[in-house]
Homo-oligomer: A and B are copies of this chain.
Amino acid sequence: MRAEALKGHLDGLLLATLEDGPQHGYAVKEALRDTTGGRLDLPTGTVYPALHRLERAGLIKGSWSVVGGRRRRTYELTEQGRRSLAGARDHWQEFAAVISAALGGGPWPATN
């Protein structure tokens, strides 16, 4: 996974991870790693600032708690975040179609 390739696509991934229920930041990072078979193992210096950004934007809402002696900040999608996620999925579909068309080198979707 090239580093800069992710730019502009991270927010949607984080929102999608929170779609099925609230999670704390570290769990979001692990969930992304798991759902991608370990291919998207983001550093914490990427995940936490991104979550802060989403919260400032009103797409997620965070709240502190303490579990097992460790403090956690649990995030959940706001209504606005849910709409943004839907938009991110649409944009991704279009983006992927455009890039695949321009990149060529075989039909898209890949026939595998």
* Chain A contact residues, CB within 8 Å of chain B: 1-9, 12-13, 16-17, 19, 32, 35-37, 39-40, 85-86, 88-89, 91-106, 108-110
Contacts and interface: CB of A to CB of B under 8 A. Distances in A.
B103 A12 contact: yes
Given A105-B89, A108-B109, A4 B1 contact: no
A105 B1 CA distance: 22
**Protomer copies:** 2
Contacts of A86: 105
A32 B40 CA distance: 29
Contacts of A2: 8, 91, 95
A112 to B, nearest CB: 9
User: Max chain B CB contacts within 10 Å: which of A4, A17, A19, A96?
Assistant: A96
